[in-house]
């Protein structure tokens, strides 16, 4: 398990990460969302021990990360600003990481290079941005680490390749319990893979929740009430948002599904229907309650 407590990093008078306390459970996919400059990359560099915190701690299973070589061997960091050996080839990267990570799977590396259509002896400097990102992902997957830190990993990949990478992540999670931590500026990229999502804004986590809990505790209801009546008497439900188009009301409510259905049955509504919310809609609702406009923060 990864735990941070009051984690803070400053660059001169800029607070890039502001007293973040977080817990990332093993075997789950943790998504970190935020605009450019929100502190995502700095947070990942603190997790990986590249940067030293100004305040607070980063611990993996109770052990500090910074300058601890054996702890660092448990994760692989895929940076958004990728770095490779000068004039290196994929074969050179395999030899390099094979020395750093005892569990590096050379056979799988060769197979994945072939599957992705990457040439083992071609200089990486001639690769496109997407090809370089694919190579970084292959290196990270084959390192065999417990944790994989991914900074904008899907940026630069086409839709088919994104699904392929997500399938690789899911396979390694199932077979060996790998835990990916994925930072992105796009909620839509994370919706179908993450178990837990944190929204980072101005260096701090604005919202952090398990997706299953979020999806079961907030609902969108389309309904029609008789003339002269409305949704004010929905017992046990908190109405977060209300929109109307003629007599059709769209309500966003907080509460369990059974509560919502029972309240609507007792309300005298002529018609009602519960509609699943997307992750984007859930975050918009949650952050609006907190006084933020997520559309300005993330999209």
Say yes or no to pLDDT of 291 above 70.
no
Tokens 């300005």 identify what position?
A: 296
Q: Are strands 271-275 and 218-224 parallel, antiparallel or unpaired?
A: antiparallel
- Euclidean distance between CA atoms 239 and 293, whole angstroms: 18
Q: Please give the helix or strand (H or E) that residue 198 lies within, else none.
A: strand 196-201
pLDDT tens profile 9-63: 999 988 999 999 988 999 889 998 877 788 899 999 999 999 999 999 999 999 9
Six token digits for residue 256: 């369990």
Do 196 and 31 touch, CB atoms closer than 8 A?
yes
Backbone dihedral region for residue 133 (phi beyond 0: left; psi -120 to 50: alpha; all else: beta): alpha
> Domains in the chain, ordered, with CATH?
2-202 (3.40.50.300), 213-298 (3.30.70)
pLDDT of residue 244: 87
Six token digits for residue 118: 């990457």
Q: Is the dihedral of CA 264, 268, 272, 278 positive or negative?
A: negative
Give the bridge partners for 272, in sequence order.
Answer: 223
Q: Number of helices (H) and strands (E) in the chain: give both, helices first.
A: 11, 14
Q: What share of the chain is helix, strand, coil (3-state, %, to 5)?
A: 35, 30, 35
pLDDT tens profile 221-264: 999 988 877 777 677 778 888 888 888 999 988 888 888 888 88
pLDDT tens profile 134-148: 999 999 999 999 999
Given pLDDT bands bounded at 50, 70 and 90, which one contains residue 97? very high
pTM over 0.85: no
Displacement of CA 260 from its chain's centroid (Å): 29
pLDDT of residue 290: 57
In DSSP notation, 204-217 reads EEEEEEEHHHHHHH
- Euclidean distance between CA atoms 139 and 132, whole angstroms: 11
- Euclidean distance between CA atoms 186 and 272, whole angstroms: 32
């Amino acid at each position: 398990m990864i735990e941070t407590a009051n984690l803070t990093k400053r660059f001169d008078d800029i607070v890039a990460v502001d007293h973040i306390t977080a817990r990332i459970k093993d075997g789950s996919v943790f998504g970190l969302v935020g605009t450019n400059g929100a502190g995502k990359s700095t947070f990942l560099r603190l997790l990986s021990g590249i940067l030293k915190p100004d305040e607070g701690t980063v611990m993996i299973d109770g052990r500090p990360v910074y300058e601890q070589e054996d702890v660092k061997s448990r994760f692989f960091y895929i940076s958004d600003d990728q770095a490779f050996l000068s004039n290196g080839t994929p074969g050179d990267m395999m030899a390099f990481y094979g020395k750093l990570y005892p569990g590096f799977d050379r056979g799988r590396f060769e197979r994945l290079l072939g599957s992705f259509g990457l040439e083992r002896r071609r200089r990486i400097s001639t690769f496109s941005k997407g090809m370089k990102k694919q190579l970084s992902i292959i290196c990270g997957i084959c390192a065999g680490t417990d944790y994989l830190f991914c900074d904008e990993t899907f940026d630069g990949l086409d839709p088919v390749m994104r699904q392929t990478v997500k399938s690789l992540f899911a396979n390694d999670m199932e077979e060996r319990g790998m835990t990916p931590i994925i930072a992105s500026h796009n909620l839509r990229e994370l919706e179908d893979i993450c178990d837990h999502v944190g929204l980072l804004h101005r260096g701090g986590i604005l919202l952090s929740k398990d997706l299953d809990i979020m999806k079961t505790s907030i609902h969108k209801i389309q309904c029609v009430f008789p003339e002269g009546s409305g949704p004010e008497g929905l017992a046990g439900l908190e109405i977060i948002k209300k929109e109307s188009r003629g007599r059709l009301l769209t309500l966003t409510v907080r509460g369990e599904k059974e509560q919502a259905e029972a309240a609507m049955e007792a309300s005298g509504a002529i018609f009602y229907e519960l509609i699943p919310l997307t992750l984007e809609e859930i975050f918009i609702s949650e952050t609006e309650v907190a006084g933020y406009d997520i559309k300005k923060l993330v999209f």
